[in-house]
Each structure stands twice: as C-alpha cells, then as structure tokens.
Amino acid sequence: MSGVCSRRAADGLIAGGRVEVNGELIRELGSRVDPKNDDVRFDGNRIQPERPVYVLFNKPAGIVCTNARNEQKKRVIDFLPQVRGRLFTVGRLDLDSEGLILLTNDGSFALEMTHPRYGVPKLYAVLVRGRIEQQELDKARGGVWLAEGPTTGMNIKVERTGKDKTYMKVTLREGKNREIRRVFAKLEHPVISLKRIRIGDLNLHGLSPGAWRFLQPHEVQRLRDVALQADRPMHDDDSGEN
C-alpha cells in the first residue's frame, strides 16, 4: 500500500532486516502495525500508505492490460501519465476487446471487483458469427466446460439477428480468462467484436475510447455494496441497460 513492493517481496525485506517499526528492527513475519500511528521505515526511510486511487477507463481495441515495462504494445497505464504512483488494472480485457476497465492501487477493492464470490456484474455487447439457436443459448446460460473446468453460466439477451450474425448483451458475474470468446467458440459461433459497456452501474457515458476519469467516492461505495450482495440471484432481465 506504500508502493515499495508486493506482499510476497515484503516477506524477504522483513527477513533481511530492512524494516523497522517505531525504531525497532522487525524480523518476525506477520507483525501487526497501525499505518496511521506507527513509524514504519524501509532502509531508514519512513513509508506512508498511498492515497487510494480509482479510475474508470474506456479501453480501445489493440491496447494491453499488462504493466510489464518491456511490453511492445501500448498499455492501458500509458494513457494515464498524469496519475502519480503505481496503478494496475482490475482484471483484464484481452487485446481485441474494448470498453470499460477499472484501475486502482487498492488491492482489497480489486479483489472485491474480480473474485467470483463477490459477483460484481459486468455487461458486454457481443457480436458473434452465425445465428444462434435456442439450445445453444441454453448451453451458454447453463455453463460450458473449458480447460480449467465448467463456467458458472452467463445471462444472455439476444438484441437482434442478421443473416449470419447475432448481436447480444451478455452479463457475467464471474469471468474466466477470455470466457465469452471461448464459450462461443466452443459453440461454433466465434466472437467478431466484444465491448464491456457496464461494470456494476458504471457505464460508458461521457467516455470516448482512450478517455478516463476518477471515480467519485459514492461510486466506489456503490460498487462495494454490490460486491456485498454476492448471494443475490440474477435473472436474464437484469442485463438490460438503464
């Protein structure tokens, strides 16, 4: 939370005798501190928790979500040079996908937004090849077996069908890696385009591709409130836009 290192790396720094709390060298892992009142130092320098930052970004296609410094493609974080301190994406959208993604430096918030047990709904506009039959929709809604196990199912609202295309709104509360693309590929309806248009009750309004804004405190709290309602059942008609 101070931007010094990861939690895993912190264990090594503590064991190496590089951390002091209130003037005392600490080597015991799991020692508890009060970040507001205790004097915590790394290599003699006092550290302070970063101010929590929450950003909503409209990712264009062709942009990657990694923070790797040696990445050749443009990264999401490259669009936010004005935001000081470390920042990471909350989950991912793959290279060819676009739409809303959150960024933060708050690990607890990121966990609440991504862990399956919290089930924050995310709405996608999806275009697939071919006309999808009812039995195929039933399979996608009920769950499809992927390499890492079965999906928990998705809520689907067919918007319209063309001669060889189907336009849908798909809602996920839990997302495996590239889940929508993989599920429909398995049903022999490959995804042509995929755009995330809502996270909780946040939408694309006012954000052109490549644009971003800070979340307001009440927006962060609403997302967290949704995460606390993980046991609330969801129905297909939940996926419509406001």
Residue entry with tokens 């047990």: 117
Average pLDDT value for the chain: 89
**What would the CATH number be for the domain defined by 122-199?**
3.30.70.1560
Q: What is the pLDDT of residue 36?
A: 77
pLDDT band (50, 70, 90) for residue 236:
very low
**Tokens standing for residue 112:** 């609440």
pLDDT band (50, 70, 90) for residue 241:
very low
Q: DSSP letter at 33?
A: -
6 has pLDDT over 90? no
Q: What is the pLDDT of residue 78?
A: 95
Question: Region 228-233: what's the mean pLDDT?
Answer: 62
Q: Under a CB-based contact definition with an 8 Å cutoff, are residues 195 and 97 in contact?
A: yes
Q: What is the pLDDT of residue 232?
A: 52
Please provide residue 184's backbone torsions phi and psi, each rounded to the nearest 5 degrees: -75, -30
Beta strands 98-104; 191-199: pairing state: parallel
Using a pLDDT cut of 70, give the percent of the chain over it.
94
What phi-psi label fits residue 113: left (phi over 0), alpha (psi between -120 and 50 degrees) or beta?
A: alpha
Question: Which residues lie below 8 Å from residue 37, measured CB to CB, with a gap of 6+?
Answer: none
Spell out the domain ranges in the chain. 7-46, 54-117+201-227, 122-199
Report the C-alpha gap between 189 and 164 in whole angstroms. Answer: 10
pTM: 0.80
Other Cβ atoms closer than 10 A to 48: 11
User: One of 38, 39, 94, 106 is an active-site residue; which one?
Assistant: 94
pLDDT band (50, 70, 90) for residue 1:
low
Q: Return the closest-CA partner of residue 166 out of 133, 197, 196.
A: 133
**What would the CATH number be for the domain defined by 7-46?**
3.10.290.10
233 has pLDDT over 80? no
Specify the CATH number for 54-117+201-227; select among 3.40.50.300, 3.30.930.10, 3.40.50.720, 3.30.70.580. Answer: 3.30.70.580
Please provide residue 104's backbone torsions phi and psi, each rounded to the nearest 5 degrees: -160, 170
Q: What is the pLDDT of residues 35-52, one digit of tens each?
A: 778 889 999 888 877 789
The residue among 104 and 3 whose pLDDT is bigger is 104
Q: Return the closest-CA partner of residue 177 out of 149, 213, 138.
A: 149
Report the C-alpha gap between 192 and 154 in whole angstroms. Answer: 18
Alpha-carbon torsion angle 122, 128, 130, 132, nearest 10: 0
**Tokens standing for residue 236:** 């297909």
The residue among 134 and 173 whose pLDDT is bigger is 134
Question: Region 126-132: what's the mean pLDDT?
Answer: 96
Q: What is the pLDDT of residues 140-187, one digit of tens each?
A: 999 889 888 888 889 999 999 988 999 999 999 877 788 999 999 999
Q: What is the pLDDT of residues 53-93, one digit of tens each?
A: 999 999 999 999 999 989 999 999 999 998 987 899 999 99
77-to-71, 108, 241 alpha-carbon distances in Å: 12, 20, 28
Tell whether the torsion through CA atoms of 112, 113, 117 and 118 is positive or negative: positive
38 carries an active-site annotation: no
Q: What is the pLDDT of residue 239?
A: 40
Are domains 7-46 and 122-199 of this chain identical in fold? no
pLDDT band (50, 70, 90) for residue 231:
very low
pLDDT band (50, 70, 90) for residue 230:
low
Q: Under a CB-based contact definition with an 8 Å cutoff, are residues 174 and 184 in contact?
A: no
Q: What is the pLDDT of residue 237?
A: 45
